[in-house]
């Protein structure tokens, strides 16, 4: 091979790849509006994106799968947490999720919390080609118990263990159904202080009643 051939490989390889790439970039750029629902991208979302950057959330959490791997991916967080939970959490993360590995208290202002929730809600709507994937185990199992789902999404396992998995701050709930009735558990969720005046368990009175019932159904069945 002569030097001139090598040079031709260099030039034509670069040009060809650049042309393809720029053409696809043009097309992708045009698709963003629809794939990301830009009509819902208002000034709160934009402000929330800046909150996300200003506090450098991204060097602990991934979003769209990019960032630090120290904390959970937040791309679809608004699919499994309600805004109220996130609000309480962001105010004081260690209180709401007292795991050993903690998120620091960032002292966000109330407006910043609202904005970042608007941002995460918008991100939740991005068409990510079905990423993250549905777990195979769940996808193949029969419909999961709705109460079990709520138990997961409300972060109960930060304090409670079920079947050996979870936190140690509250009692083990693996066999809670053998000592507590469904009504008792519902009461515990609405007002934990009714059973123990010094309770440190947060109240879940703000959950829709249906969710509380399904939770209590699930737990009282754990004999």
Measured between alpha carbons, how far is 196 from 109 in angstroms, rounded to an integer?
32
In the complex, least distance from residue 161 CB atom to other proteins, rounded to whole angstroms: 10
Map tokens 């053998």 to a residue: 178
Site for ligand HEC in 116-155 (CB under 6 A): 151, 154-155
Strands 165-166 and 62-63, how do they pair? unpaired
Listed residue (120, 126, 41) closest to 86, CA to CA: 120
Phi, psi of 66, rounded to the nearest 5 degrees: -115, 135
Q: Which of 48, 166, 177, 192 binds ligand HEC (CB under 6 A)?
A: 192
Q: Is 64 in the site for ligand HEM (CB under 6 A)?
A: no
Residue nearest to ligand HEM (CB): 69
Site for other proteins in 144-183 (CB under 8 A): 152, 157-158, 165-166
In this complex, which beta carbon is closest to other proteins, that of residue 68 or of residue 171? Answer: 68
In this complex, which beta carbon is closest to ligand HEC, that of residue 15 or of residue 200? Answer: 200
In the complex, least distance from residue 150 CB atom to other proteins, rounded to whole angstroms: 13
Q: Is 131 in the site for ligand HEM (CB under 6 A)?
A: no
Cis peptide before 218 (omega within 30 of 0): no
Cα Rg for the chain, rounded, in angstroms?
Answer: 24
Neighbouring residues of 30: CB distance < 8 A, sequence distance ≥ 6: none
> Quick one: what does residue 92 bind among ligand HEC, ligand HEM, other proteins, none, with the CB cut-off 5 to 8 Å set by partner type?
none
Measured between alpha carbons, how far is 121 from 103 in angstroms, rounded to an integer?
20
Q: List interacting residues with ligand HEC (CB under 6 A).
A: 98, 151, 154-156, 158-160, 169-171, 173, 176, 179-180, 185, 188-189, 192, 195-196, 199-202, 204, 215, 219
């Amino acid at each position: 091979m002569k030097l001139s051939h090598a040079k031709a490989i260099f030039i034509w390889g670069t040009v060809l790849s650049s042309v393809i790439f720029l053409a696809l970039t043009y097309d992708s750029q045009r698709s963003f509006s629809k794939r990301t629902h830009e009509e819902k991208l208002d000034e709160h979302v934009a402000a929330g994106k800046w909150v996300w950057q200003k506090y450098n959330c991204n060097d602990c959490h991934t979003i769209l799968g990019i960032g630090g791997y120290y904390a959970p991916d937040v791309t679809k967080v608004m699919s499994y947490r309600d805004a109220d939970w996130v609000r309480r959490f962001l105010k004081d993360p260690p209180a709401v999720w007292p795991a050993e590995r903690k998120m620091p208290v960032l002292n966000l202002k109330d407006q910043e919390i609202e904005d970042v929730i608007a941002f995460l809600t918008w991100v939740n709507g991005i068409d990510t080609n079905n990423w993250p994937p549905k777990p195979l185990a769940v996808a193949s199992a029969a419909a999961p118990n709705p109460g079990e789902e709520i138990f997961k999404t409300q972060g109960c396992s930060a304090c409670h263990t079920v079947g050996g998995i979870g936190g140690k701050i509250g009692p083990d709930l693996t066999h809670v159904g053998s000592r507590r009735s469904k009504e008792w558990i519902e009461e515990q969720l609405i007002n934990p202080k009714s059973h123990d005046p010094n309770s440190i368990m947060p109240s879940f009175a703000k959950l829709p009643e249906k969710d509380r019932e399904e939770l209590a159904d699930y737990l009282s069945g754990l004999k």
